[in-house]
Structure 1
Amino acid sequence: MKFLRYGPIGAEKPGCLDQDGNIRDLGHLIADFTPETITCDQLAALADRDLADLPIIDPGTRIGACVGAARNFYAVGLNYARHARETNNPEPKEPVLFSKSTSSICGPNDPIILPRGSVKTDWEVELGIIIGRPCSYVTKDEALDYVAGFCTINDVSERAYQIERGGQWIKGKSAPNFGPMGPWLVTTDEVGDPQNLTLTLSVNGETVQNSSTADMIFPVAEIISYMSGFMRLMPGDVIATGTPEGVGMGLSPQRFLKAGDIVELSVEGLGSQRQTVIS
C-alpha cells in the first residue's frame, strides 16, 4: 500500500493511492499520519479497507512529507562502499549515526532553499525507513518486523557547514527544506527486498547518482538492530540510510547547487521527487 499526505503546508490530510494511481482521501478514517498513528497495525487495518467509495483528490494537489510531526529524523553516513571511496573515507566499522532537525522536513516537490551564505549545498538520494513499532534491542532477524514502510528522501547537505565549521554534521543537514520526504510511505509487503532497489538522482537533466541499495555497507535490518541497542526507536521515527556515489562533493571538479537548478530523484518503487533550488 502507498500512503501519503496531501494539501497545503501545515494543513496536510491523509490519503493513499488506489490501483489506478488515484489519490483517495482517508480523512474520515484517520486524522493524519503522525507518530501516534503510523503503526504497523494501523496501516495494516487501512490496507484492508475497500477504497472504491473514498473520495478522489485532484491529482494536481500538493503532496506533503509522508510523515507528519516526526519526532526524530536520524541518518546514516558513509553507508555505501563506492560513496565512501569517492569522498576518500575508509569504510566505517560501525554505522555512522547523526540527526537532521525535524524542521528540515518538507514535501517531495517543495523547493530546496539555499541557506544564507551557502556555497556548497549538495544532494543525496536515500532510502528512508519509517519505524512502525517501539523498537529496542531487536535482532537483525527481527528488525524488518518493526518497519511501517519505506520512502524516498533527499538528504540535502551544506558541506561547508557540515565539514568545515567544526562540531557535528547536524549543522550542515538541518536547514529548512533540507529533508524532502515522500511522496509515499510504501508498506514493506510492496517493497520486497530493500537491499535490491535502484536509486537515481539528476541535476538539470544530467544523471549524477545511479546505484543500488545492494552497495550498502550496513543493510536496513542491521541499521535498525544496531540503533535499537543505543536508543528506543518509536513509531514515526525516520531513518535516512545513506547515499550512493555521485554527490557533488565527490565529483571532479566538485559541483554544488545554485538557484534555478532542478533536482529530480527516485528510489525504485517508492516514487519520485522534483525540486527547484531557490535562494
Structure 2
Amino acid sequence: MLLVTYSTDGGPRRVGELRGDTVVDTGFSSPLDVTAPVDGPALPLSAVTLHAPFRPGKIIGVGLNYTEHVAESARALDTDRELPQRPVLFSKPATAVIGPGEPILHNASLTSQLDWECELAVVIGRVARRVSVEDALDHVFGYSIVNDISARDQRRSGQWFYSKGQDSYAPFGPAVLTADAVPDPHDLDLSLRVNGEVKQKSNTRYMLFTIPELIADITAGMTLEPGDVIATGSPAGVGASFTPQQFLWPGDVVEASVAGIGTLRNPVVDAR
C-alpha cells in the first residue's frame, strides 16, 4: 500500500491509500495503524493537500553511506577520505519536518550554503532493541523519502546537529510505501532535481551499510520505536561537490524521488 496523510479545504488530516490518481480514505489517524486496504470514500488526488505522513518520534540520519559521496565529501567538505568502518549517525529533531509542497526556509543570516541530499527513509513499525541483522527487516513498517537539507557553513567543530536540524530541514513524504510492497529496498532508483535539472541519480544498492546493518547497529544501544525514521544516507551529487559549488536559494524548487514512493517537491523561500 502507498499511504498518504491528506486534508481537504483546510480540514482535519486523514490517512488515505493512494491508488493511481485517487486517494481512498482508510478511516485511520496514522499510516502506522493501517494493516490492510480499506475501501472508504475516494477523492481525486488533485482535490486534496498532502502533508508529511506523520511526525516522527526521532529521525536518525546516516552520513557517508554511499562510496562516491564519501569521496566527494572528503574533497568538498573536509571529511575523512577513508570509508567508515561503522555507520556515521546523527539526528534531526521532529521540528525540522515539513511535508510535500511546504517551503524550505533559507535564512541568509545563518547560511549561504544550503544543500540537498535525497535519501530513502526507513519507517520503523515495531519496537526494536538489540535486533540482529537477520531479524531487522521484521521491524520495518515501510519506506518514504527524506530530503536531508543541510547548512554546510553551520557545522560546528565537526558536529552536524545545527547544520542539519534547523526548521524545515527535513522534508518528508509524500507517502509511505508499506514494506510488503517493496521486494528489495536495496534496489530502488533515487534521484534529485533542482529547478528541473538532475543533480543526483543513483540506486540504493550502492549503500555501504545495508538497512538491516543500520538497524542492528543503532539498536545495539538505542531503542527504535514505531514512528521513528532512519534517513539512510545520500548518494553523490550534493551541491557542495560541484565546481563551482551550487547551493539552494529562494525561488528554487527541489524534487527528491524514489522509485515506487513518488516525488517529494518543495520550494525554497526566504525565511524572513
When normalised by structure 2's length, the TM-score is 0.91
- In structure 2, the CA distance between the partners of 1:60 and 1:122, relative to structure 1 (3 Å rule), is farther
**CA separation in 2, counterparts of 1:155 and 1:209?**
13
Give the C-alpha shift of residue 153 in structure 1: 1.1
Could you say which residue in structure 1 is the equivalent of 2:3?
Answer: 3
Could you say which residue in structure 2 is the equivalent of 1:59?
Answer: 46
Query: How many residue pairs are counted as aligned between the two chains?
Result: 262
Query: 8 Å contact 2:126–2:139 — kept in the other structure?
Result: yes
Deviations 1:192-225 (A, max 9, x none): 2111111101112211100111111001111011
- Are 1:211 and 2:202 matched, yes or no? yes
TM superposition outliers: structure 1 runs of 4+ over 6 Å: none
Higher strand share: 2
Query: 8 Å contact 1:101–1:173 — kept in the other structure?
Result: no
CA RMSD of aligned residues (A): 1.7
Query: 8 Å contact 2:120–2:144 — kept in the other structure?
Result: yes
Q: Which amino acid aligns with 1:128?
A: A
- In structure 2, the CA distance between the partners of 1:10 and 1:255, relative to structure 1 (3 Å rule), is farther
- In structure 2, the CA distance between the partners of 1:191 and 1:21, relative to structure 1 (3 Å rule), is farther
**CA separation in 1, counterparts of 2:158 and 2:206?**
28
Larger mean Cα displacement after TM superposition, 9-18 or 183-192? 9-18
- Are 1:100 and 2:92 matched, yes or no? yes
Could you say which residue in structure 1 is the equivalent of 2:59?
Answer: 73
**CA separation in 2, counterparts of 1:204 and 1:31?**
34
Query: 8 Å contact 2:28–2:34 — kept in the other structure?
Result: no
Give the C-alpha shift of residue 58 in structure 1: 5.1
**CA separation in 2, counterparts of 1:11 and 1:123?**
31
**CA separation in 2, counterparts of 1:200 and 1:60?**
27
Q: Which amino acid aligns with 2:190?
A: L
- Are 1:13 and 2:6 matched, yes or no? no
SS in 1 for 2:34: helix
Query: 8 Å contact 1:199–1:210 — kept in the other structure?
Result: yes
Could you say which residue in structure 1 is the equivalent of 2:77?
Answer: none
SS in 2 for 1:119: coil
For residues 172-183 of structure 1, the aligned pairs below 5 Å read 172-183=163-174
Percent identity, please.
38
Q: Which amino acid aligns with 2:120?
A: L
Give unmatched runs, 5+ long, in structure 1: none
Query: 8 Å contact 2:21–2:44 — kept in the other structure?
Result: no
Give the C-alpha shift of residue 43 in structure 1: 2.9
Q: Which amino acid aligns with 1:54?
A: P
